Amino acid sequence: MKAVYLAARFSRKKEMKKLSLRIKELGVKVTSRWLDEEPLPEGKIKRKRFLENTAAMDANDVFAADTLIRFSDDLSDPMVPSSWCTGSRLEECGMAHAWSKHIIIVGPHQSLFDRFPQRVHLKDSKALLKYIRKHRG
């Protein structure tokens, strides 16, 4: 594992930024530029351009990584916040699968495709850091 992409719902951005710094300390590159992106701009045309550019950037970042790490959500409550439903992290995971990337899921199974046997499942960020220490480089 030399380069990873962190995929998580946007509301976890600060948590992912902190984790990315710990991963970098282990000598693994983090390709997730969304962790440093600017806020959504004002104006319909600027927003449209920003979102198009962000989608392209995120796809390029997934492609640049050898491993995608997706953080699943707790779906035990039948009603989840609508902000969780954008699903970009799930689409990024699909891209990683199509591009034959190594995929790690942190947290419970969420998608049907989390059941693919080649996907690594880890309980939490602590288990993830332990896994990275063992498999880096």
Q: Is the whole-model pTM more than 0.75?
A: yes
Q: Which CATH class is domain 3-135?
A: alpha beta
What was the pLDDT predicted at 82?
46
Sorted by sequence, the CB contacts under 8 Å of residue 90 that are 6+ apart come out as: 70, 110, 111
Mean pLDDT by 10 residues, the chain (137 residues): 95 96 98 92 93 95 98 67 65 96 94 92 97 92
Tell me the CB-side half-sphere exposure of residue 94, using CA atoms within 13 A.
Answer: 7
Structure tokens, 120: 């690594």
User: What sections of the chain are H helices per DSSP?
Assistant: 13-25, 44-64, 88-98, 125-135
Nearest to 92 by CA among 67, 129, 117: 67
The full DSSP string for 84-118 is: GGG-HHHHHHHHHHHTT-EEEEESS--SGGGG-TT
What was the pLDDT predicted at 39?
85
What was the pLDDT predicted at 130?
97
Domain map (residue ranges) of the chain? 3-135
